[in-house]
Amino acid sequence: MTREQIEDAGRPDQAAPVQLAGVSKRFGRGRGRVTALDGVTLSFPAGSFTAVLGASGSGKSTLLQCAAGLERPSSGTVRLCGADLARLSDRQQARLRRQRIGFVFQELNLVPELTVGENIALPLRLGHRRVDRSGIERAAARVGLTPGQMRRLPSELSGGQQQRTAIARALAVRPEVIFADEPTGSLDPHTAQGVLRLLRRTADGTTVVIVTHDPQVVRFCDRAVFLGAGRVDSIVDAPEPGQVAARLHALGERANGRDA
């Protein structure tokens, strides 16, 4: 069942680790100015597993970047793990990212010159934390990577294995929030299902935000947030792929109609 509850979502949830209030993001200036996000107010409750869906150009990637502190919003406030990002220095933001946040991107997740093991340990090393080999191997084992694969370079792994490495790296710091931007975008459906199942299983208790355009992803999610033209269109609890596909189609039609 679809339940329109935009007003409801806008209500501040003080416990939620990710909160956006009136966040807008504009790129460029003059005639080339593009509004990617237009006054988005959203919160992602602790331990929730949310998919952010929308057509290309709906602003879903920008939403993730602003929420994660990779991009500064043009207006509005973002609270991440209880801190107002605008009040944090660049250095404090970097520290926040490496200690409490995990990232999984579509591709180019891994530093190609570092081995799988070194990639997993990267955020720990950046934080000058002690890296014990068994901890890394445990993190790798949870995503199904063997100790023998620790010394391989990313280019020697399959696409699915690379994404598993990225998940292991995100988990290694025991983050409060994991942001994933099209984590299965370059994988075949079967491998994609495996990676998502893994993420769902291992991220138990962690808040996960996945940006995607793939309706199949929502099978693992508690909630789906639909974006259209930089605004929150609707929020659906316990979403199902068929219903989500129809919704995405409708959103796409609307966007095309506006373009024409």
Q: Which of 41, 43, 58, 65 binds other proteins (CB under 8 A)?
A: 65
91 binds other proteins (CB under 8 A): yes
Alpha-carbon distance 247 to 190, whole Å? Answer: 24
Under rule CB under 8 A, which residues in 113-132 are in contact with other proteins? Answer: 113-114, 118, 122-123, 125-127
Q: Whose Cβ is closer to other proteins: residue 69's or residue 239's?
A: 69
User: How many CA atoms are closer than 13 Å to the CA of 227, on its beta-carbon side?
Assistant: 28
Phi, psi torsion values for 70, nearest 5 degrees = -80, -25
Q: Which of 6, 45, 95, 255 binds other proteins (CB under 8 A)?
A: 95
Alpha-carbon distance 47 to 71, whole Å? Answer: 24
> Minimum distance from CB of 169 to other proteins (Å)?
8
> Minimum distance from CB of 69 to other proteins (Å)?
8
User: Interface with other proteins by CB under 8 A: which range of 47-55, 80-88, 89-97, 142-150?
Assistant: 89-97
How many CB atoms sit inside 10 A of residue 259's CB? 7
Residue 148 CB-density burial (10 A; 0-12 exposed, 13-18 middle, 19+ buried): exposed
> Minimum distance from CB of 7 to other proteins (Å)?
30
| Nearest of 160, 149, 220 to residue 185 by alpha carbon | 160
111 binds other proteins (CB under 8 A): yes
Alpha-carbon distance 139 to 164, whole Å? Answer: 10
230 binds other proteins (CB under 8 A): no
Alpha-carbon distance 241 to 247, whole Å? Answer: 10
Among positive and negative, which fits the CA dihedral 228, 230, 232, 236? positive
Alpha-carbon distance 243 to 241, whole Å? Answer: 6
Site string for other proteins, 19-58 (x = CB under 8 A): ----------------------------------------
Amino acid identity of residue 145, one-letter, is L
Q: Which of 10, 38, 105, 245 binds other proteins (CB under 8 A)?
A: 105
> Minimum distance from CB of 101 to other proteins (Å)?
8
Alpha-carbon distance 150 to 142, whole Å? Answer: 13
User: Interface with other proteins by CB under 8 A: which range of 87-95, 139-147, 196-204, 246-254?
Assistant: 87-95
Residue indicated by tokens 């939620």: 16
Binding-residue total with other proteins (CB under 8 A): 31
Q: What is the dihedral of CA 38, 41, 46, 47, to 10 degrees?
A: -50
For residue 187, give the DSSP letter. Answer: S
Site string for other proteins, 138-177 (x = CB under 8 A): ---------------x---------------x--------
Q: Whose Cβ is closer to other proteins: residue 14's or residue 89's?
A: 89
Q: Interface residues with other proteins (CB under 8 A)?
A: 61, 65, 70-71, 90-91, 94-99, 101, 103, 105-106, 108-109, 111-114, 118, 122-123, 125-127, 153, 169, 181
